[in-house]
Amino acid sequence: MKKFFYLLIIITPTLAAAQSSNQVQLANEYYINGELDKARDIYEKLSGNPQYIQQIHNNYLSILLTIADYKAAEKHLKKARKYYPANVYYQIDEGLLYQTIGEEEKAENVYNETIDRAKENKYLIRTAAQYFVSKQLTPYALKSYLVGRKSDKDKTSYALELANTYRILDQKTQMIEEYLLFASIRPNNLRYVKNILQNILQKEEDIQNFRDILIEKIQKQPNEKIYPELLIWVSLQQNDFHGAYIQARAVDKKYKTNGNRVMDIGNIALENKAYNDAIEIFTYVTDNYPNTGNYISARRQIIKSREEKVKNDFPIEKQAIRELTYDYKQLILDIGVNTQTIEALRSKALLHAFYLDELDSAINILNEIIRAPRINLALKAKSKLDLGDIYLLTNDPWESTLLYSQVEKSNKDSPIGYSAKLKNAKLNYYQGNFELAKSHLDILKLATTREIANDAMSLSLLIQDNTVLDSSDFVMKEFASIELLLFQNKKDSALIKFESMLKKYPGHSLTDEIYWKMAKINLELGNFENSLLELQAILSSYPSDILGDDAMFLLAEIYEEYLYDEERAMELYKDFLITYPGSVYVAESRKRFRKLRGDNIN
């Protein structure tokens, strides 16, 4: 009997606790289902026991505020604070209650008291600040961090938290200051700060403000490395390559890095088609670092920059191409054939083949590269692909596919192997073997390089869209054969044949593609007015098709860069932004429009 009595003493509280726990669960279900009266009755009974306050607090308080029972809410909060005096949530909730009933002064006193109590405890400061933010009381979150920083007597405390808080408050100058402080004390997080700022600083005035802050920081703290790096970075974000170069030049001089940073900027400028900037930057390296490892690379890059500039300035001047081959030859004579100059030898071969129609010279050079001992295997593979391309120029597709297949087999599952497969697919396309071409292209759609995957997707869609209703494929075969002429640089012949197709097959699904090809050919031949007419034909009849935005952007570009009609170009860029807001050209169109309008975009 005595044992049973002791057992009853042990079991009874356990059963009571289990029953109360079930009551909490039941009340929560009522709350979720919107049965607030039932939920409130249970919560009210449970609120008398301190051990359930934390489990029921949020839902119970929410119900009391919803039904405007402010006295019960105040009673509950007083009880919660009594039993859990260190819980900042309950303190802030009390302030929220006072704010709800219009007692602003009481609310402010509670918030300030909460912050003051927490100021020496980093965990409590962060907890309080985060809760303030969640309740749309962000100014008090800011105050929490600032009071915590003052209490720490450390001007770097809570830098990241303050930056994020200023960001919410849209106080961008203070936000930038704190992100810079965070980056200076933790340089390893510089990339993180760049990513954050890249997303935030979208407006020109914000970017300019950031530049001004950085310049002031550099003047005041000349030995802090992150500020010059960030100034270079923000200049590059604006495509201000010259500004980035000036800053990189100072960095190289200060840290004696032999032009490394300047070379980086030059390569970025070249990638972004800022050819004049790239030439100036690489020339600076050759002039100032003649006895360093960067000298040969810079000389090579000067010629490459000039080459890209010549090839993208229509119509292309043959004499300018000839001068480039002389420059490559002189570079190789001065330095010799080595791992740094053999790429220049390859570039020289391609100029002979595709611009000067000197195929024998090109073939000899490429074979020389392929046979060279200890050659970089990737460069050897690229040279084989180039040789395959040249055999296409000589109408020897068998030799072409042999070389493409060799490279593909030797470089499986690599970018150069995918490139070889793409060339084989295009060769089959030129020959009208569309099914075989598509089988290659379907594999390449999953290629690891975005450029190759995109090219494969575009060609696959072109074949699919223009053969599905044409069982004989004869129109598509004719189009593909003309594309081979284009590859062979026979632009005049291709133009005549495209014009013939427009007359023979009016209204065919390839019509917009034909106009687009003709527009590009006429642009490259310098027939700008004809190019405009063909682009206008696309915009008149196919404005919503896939080439609509391409046509309108190129139209504006021709007016700006070749006809020097800035007013018309500005109108077109403005119309483009309205007509094609989702186009990949939107950012560039906006930039060009602002530049033509006279905005200071750097």
User: What predicted TM-score, i.e. pTM, was given to this entire model?
Assistant: 0.81
Summarised one tens digit per residue, pLDDT across range 161-215 is 999 999 999 999 999 999 999 999 999 999 999 999 999 988 888 888 999 999 9
DSSP assignment letter at 317: P
Which range, of 19-33, 37-51, 102-116, 376-390, averages the lowest pLDDT? 19-33
Can you give the pLDDT at residue 1? 52
Does 17 have pLDDT greater than 70?
Answer: no
Can you give the pLDDT at residue 254? 92
Query: In this structure, are residues 257 and 237 in contact, taking their beta carbons and an 8 Å threshold?
Result: no
Enumerate the H helices of 466-565 as residue ranges: 474-487, 491-504, 511-525, 528-541, 548-561
Query: In this structure, are residues 56 and 27 in contact, taking their beta carbons and an 8 Å threshold?
Result: yes
Least Cα distance to 193 among 227, 148, 144, 221 occurs for 227
Does 20 have pLDDT greater than 70?
Answer: no
Query: Residue 479 — very low, low, confident or very high, per pLDDT cuts 50/70/90?
Result: very high
Tally Cβ neighbours within 10 Å of residue 102. 8
Residue 342 tokens read as 């053999």
Residue 254 tokens read as 């200060």
d(CA 413, CA 436): 20
Cβ neighbours of residue 109 under 8 Å, at least 6 residues apart? Answer: none
Least Cα distance to 329 among 344, 310, 351, 343 occurs for 344
Q: Mean pLDDT across the stretch 376-387?
A: 95
Q: Mean pLDDT across the stretch 209-222?
A: 92
Least Cα distance to 504 among 527, 465, 474, 468 occurs for 474
Does 429 have pLDDT greater than 90?
Answer: yes
Q: Mean pLDDT across the stretch 228-257?
A: 93
Query: Within 13 A of 82's CA, how many CA atoms are on the CB side?
Result: 11
Query: Residue 467 — very low, low, confident or very high, per pLDDT cuts 50/70/90?
Result: confident
Percent of all residues in the chain with a pLDDT value above 90, rounded to a whole number? 82
Least Cα distance to 514 among 529, 544, 535 occurs for 535
Q: What is the dihedral of CA 411, 414, 416, 421, to 10 degrees?
A: 80
Going from the C-alpha of 382 to that of each of 353, 419, 489, 559, the distances in angstroms are 15, 9, 20, 37
Q: Mean pLDDT across the stretch 584-591?
A: 91
Chain position carrying tokens 């209490």: 151
d(CA 256, CA 249): 10
Can you give the pLDDT at residue 470? 60
Going from the C-alpha of 75 to that of each of 55, 468, 594, the distances in angstroms are 17, 76, 61
Query: Residue 7 — very low, low, confident or very high, per pLDDT cuts 50/70/90?
Result: very low
> For every residue of 450-462, which 3-state class applies, written as one string?
HHHHHHHHHHHHH
DSSP assignment letter at 52: G
Can you give the pLDDT at residue 303? 97
User: 208 or 472: whose pLDDT is higher?
Assistant: 208
User: 500 or 11: whose pLDDT is higher?
Assistant: 500
Cβ neighbours of residue 466 under 8 Å, at least 6 residues apart? Answer: 475, 476, 479, 508, 509, 510, 513
d(CA 42, CA 223): 65
Q: Mean pLDDT across the stretch 70-93?
A: 92
d(CA 114, CA 444): 61
Q: Mean pLDDT across the stretch 325-330?
A: 96
Tally Cβ neighbours within 10 Å of residue 57. 20
Cβ neighbours of residue 583 under 8 Å, at least 6 residues apart? Answer: 549, 553, 576, 589
Can you give the pLDDT at residue 338? 84
Can you give the pLDDT at residue 582? 93
DSSP assignment letter at 565: -
Can you give the pLDDT at residue 11? 47
Length of the chain, in residues: 602
Q: Mean pLDDT across the stretch 5-30?
A: 62
**Residue 49 phi, psi (nearest 5):** -105, 115
Beta strands in 263-302 (DSSP E): none
Q: Burial code of 335-374, b = ≥16 C-beta within 10 A, e = fewer? A: eeeeebbbbbbbbbbbbbbbbeebeebbbebbeebbebee
Query: In this structure, are residues 90 and 114 in contact, taking their beta carbons and an 8 Å threshold?
Result: no
Summarised one tens digit per residue, pLDDT across range 299-313 is 999 999 999 999 999
Can you give the pLDDT at residue 4? 43
d(CA 28, CA 62): 12
Query: Within 13 A of 581's CA, how many CA atoms are on the CB side?
Result: 1
Least Cα distance to 302 among 256, 269, 349, 334 occurs for 269
d(CA 246, CA 350): 34
Summarised one tens digit per residue, pLDDT across range 264-292 is 999 999 999 999 999 999 999 999 999 99
Which range, of 320-324, 443-447, 452-456, averages the lowest pLDDT? 443-447
Q: Mean pLDDT across the stretch 93-99?
A: 94
User: 2 or 516: whose pLDDT is higher?
Assistant: 516
d(CA 231, CA 206): 14
Query: Residue 469 — very low, low, confident or very high, per pLDDT cuts 50/70/90?
Result: low
Query: Within 13 A of 51's CA, how many CA atoms are on the CB side?
Result: 5
Query: Residue 472 — very low, low, confident or very high, per pLDDT cuts 50/70/90?
Result: low
Residue 565 tokens read as 């009609």
Cβ neighbours of residue 448 under 8 Å, at least 6 residues apart? Answer: 415, 418
d(CA 299, CA 335): 10
Give the DSSP H or E segment for 508: none
Summarised one tens digit per residue, pLDDT across range 339-368 is 878 999 999 999 999 999 999 999 999 999
Packing angle of the helix pair 70-83, 53-66 (nearest 10 deg): 160
Can you give the pLDDT at residue 591? 86
Least Cα distance to 193 among 203, 208, 182 occurs for 182
Percent of all residues in the chain with a pLDDT value above 70, rounded to a whole number? 95
Query: In this structure, are residues 298 and 286 in contact, taking their beta carbons and an 8 Å threshold?
Result: yes
- Mean pLDDT of the residues in the chain: 92
Query: In this structure, are residues 144 and 117 in contact, taking their beta carbons and an 8 Å threshold?
Result: no
